[in-house]
Amino acid sequence: MRARRVVYQADGWGSGELWLDGERLLWHELPRAGADGDDGHPLGGRLRAFFAGEPVSFQDIELDFEWCTPFQLAVAETLRGVPRGEVVTYGELAALAGYPGAQRAAGTFCAHNRFPVVVPCHRVVSAAGIGSYGSQGVEYKRRLLALEDVAL
């Protein structure tokens, strides 16, 4: 495997990073403040469009799931099927993936998701409200959901 780093710039969000093996996505870092340039990669362009509020699908992106357990793979595949503009709770996600009662494990998967936006963990909320969003924080998650016209 030969990983290559691709940088993209999303207006109002900052720069993000993609790590690719050929066209297979290995890792995605969400945009943060700062400017690192833009490599002009097509996936970076799609992510720029997403962060501009355009309805972009990432269903065709090949992802590296070699690190996943069967549970993690089921959760990732289920999460990729949650439509833009909709949310599910961690419990609903676990049940839809075939693991009812595994909401904490589904939350752990989301917390360690290597493919944010492509595997849209921002569309998963707690039963009591919006829930967390790792080091980016709740306001970042709110901004992502606002792009999809979801208000919590």
pLDDT values of the chain reduced to their tens digit, one per residue, 152 residues: 689 999 999 999 999 999 999 999 999 999 998 767 788 899 999 999 999 999 999 999 999 999 999 999 999 999 999 999 999 999 999 999 999 999 999 999 999 999 999 999 999 999 988 988 888 889 999 999 999 999 87
Q: Both tokens of residue 59?
A: 């269903």
**Span 70-147 CATH architecture:** Orthogonal Bundle (1.10)
Backbone angles phi, psi at 16, to 5 degrees: -120, 165
Kindly name the residue from 121, 125, 144, 147 that is annotated as catalytic: 121
Whether 110 sits among the annotated catalytic residues: the reply is no
pTM of the model: 0.93
Residue 29 · residue 6 · CB < 8 Å = no
Where does the chain hold its CATH 1.10.10.10 domain(s)? Answer: 70-147
Terminal Cα distance for the chain, rounded:
41
